[in-house]
Amino acid sequence: MSTLSVIIPTFNEEAYLADALKSVDFADEIIVVDSNSTDGTASVAKAFGAQVVFRDFDNFSAQKNYALTFATGKWILFLDADERITHSLKLELLETLEKEEFDGLKLNFPHFYMNRFLYHHSDTVLRVARRENARFEGNVHEKLVVEGKIKTLKNPVLHYTYKGLEAYIAKKDSYAWFQARQRYAKNEKASLFKLSFKPAFRFFSSLILKGGLRDGVPGFSVASVNAYGVFQRYVKLFLIQKGFTEDKQTTYLENADFELNDTYEAYLKSLHRKSHHAGLGLYESGYKPDFIDFMLKPFGQFWYQFLIKGLIFKGKKGYIKAYLLGFAQVEKFLKVWLMQRHIK
C-alpha cells in the first residue's frame, strides 16, 4: 500500500493554513515546515494534528529539503498554504499512486485572482514524487528534481495565490531585492536592454503567448504586475551596483528629477499611494475605465515622460522614472475597476 506524506512550508499563514490542511486530511502524515511565524500558524497546524518543524528561512529549496528529512511516506506531496486539493484531484491522485507506474506527478494550478480562477494563467508543476528520489534545487524559484517517468494529472489544484492587487504588487517589490542580490552575486549587470526588454517580454508572454488576454482585465493585471516585478528586479540590481541596498539607501537616483529627499522604497510607496487616491477619485466620479485606459494611456504616459519631458537624456535613471509613472497609470485604472466590483 502506498503511503503519502504532505509537506507544507509556511510563514504567517494563519488565515489560509486550515483550509489547506483540511484538503489533505486523507494523507498519512502532514509536515509543516515553518519559518518562525509570528502569528498563530504553528498553533493551527498542531491543532490539526500536523507535525510542525521550525527552520530559519534562507531559501525555499532548503526549507523543503529539510522537511523531507522528517517524512516517512513512500510518496511526498508538496503543497503551499494558499493551495487546496479538490475531492476529484484527491481521487485521481490516490488512484495514480496505487498503480505505481510513475516516479513523479505534475499538477495543474489555475490562479484565483480578482474573484475568479484564471485558467489561461495556469501552471503545470511537478509536486508529487517518491520520497527516495525527491530533492529541490534553486533558491527563489525552487525546482523539484525527479528522475524517471512523469505524469500530469487532469484535475486542478485550487490556488489562491494573489491576495489582492496591493499585496500582489508588494510581493513583487519585496522579492525583487532577493532576486537582485542573487544576480549581483553572479556578476549580472542591469543593462538598459534588460531594464527595457525583459519586462516587455514578460508582459507579452503572459498576455499573448500564455493566453492571458482571454482572462480579460484580471489577465491584463497579472501580465502587468509580473512585468513590473521583472522591472523591479533589474532596478534593484542597478541600485545594488551603485552601492545601495534594501537597508542602506541614500536619495533615490539623484539627477533624475525625483523627490530628492526620498529613498527608492519611499518613492515607490508614494507612487502607490497616489495611484490609490487617483483611482478613488475616478471611482467616486463614476468613471469607467476601458481598453484605451488600460492599454494605451500607460504607454502614452511612459512616452510622454521619456520623450517630451526629456527623461531620455538621463539614461537608465530617466527610463526607470518613465516606467514607474506609466505603471502608476495601470495601477490607478485597476483600482477603479476593482472598486466598481467591490473586489479587494
Among the residue ranges 137-146, 171-180, 251-260, 271-280, the one predicted with the least confidence is 251-260
Is the pLDDT at 260 greater than 70? The verdict is no
Does the pLDDT of residue 257 top 60, yes or no? no
The confidence band for 131, taking pLDDT boundaries of 50, 70 and 90, is very high
With 90 as the cut, is the pLDDT of residue 14 above it?
A: yes
Q: What integer pLDDT is reported at residue 160 of this predicted model?
A: 86
| Residue tagged 490607478 (cell numbers) | 332
Query: In what side-by-side order are the strands of the sheet with 75-78?
Result: 51-54, 29-34, 4-10, 75-78, 116-130, 104-113, 150-159, 83-85
Least confident of 124-128, 239-243, 339-343: 239-243
What pLDDT was estimated at residue 261? 41
Question: What is the pLDDT averaged over residues 118-127?
Answer: 86
Q: Is the pLDDT of residue 31 over 60?
A: yes
Residue 184 has which C-alpha cell? 549581483
pLDDT band at 164 (very low <50, low <70, confident <90, very high): confident
- Mean pLDDT for the chain? 91
More confident residue, 243 or 333: 333
Specify the domain boundaries for CATH 3.90.550.10 within the chain. 4-159
The C-alpha cell at 256 is 533624475
pLDDT digits (tens, 9 = 90+) for 228-246: 999 999 999 998 998 877 6
- Where do we find the cell 509543516? 32
Indicate the pTM of the whole model. Answer: 0.81
Q: How confident is the model at residue 259 (pLDDT cuts 50, 70, 90)?
A: very low
The 10s digit of each residue's pLDDT in 45-97 is 999 999 999 999 888 899 999 999 999 999 999 999 999 999 999 999 999 99
Q: Tell whether the model's pLDDT for residue 140 goes beyond 70.
A: no
Fold of 4-159: Spore Coat Polysaccharide Biosynthesis Protein SpsA; Chain A (3.90.550)
Of the given ranges (95-99, 113-117, 308-312), which has the lowest mean pLDDT?
Answer: 113-117
- 249 band by pLDDT with thresholds 50, 70 and 90: low
Location of C-alpha cell 488565515: 15
Looking at residue 47, its amino acid is A
Residue 178: pLDDT band with limits 50, 70, 90: confident
Task: Decide if pLDDT at 174 tops 50.
Answer: yes
Position 99 scores a pLDDT of 92
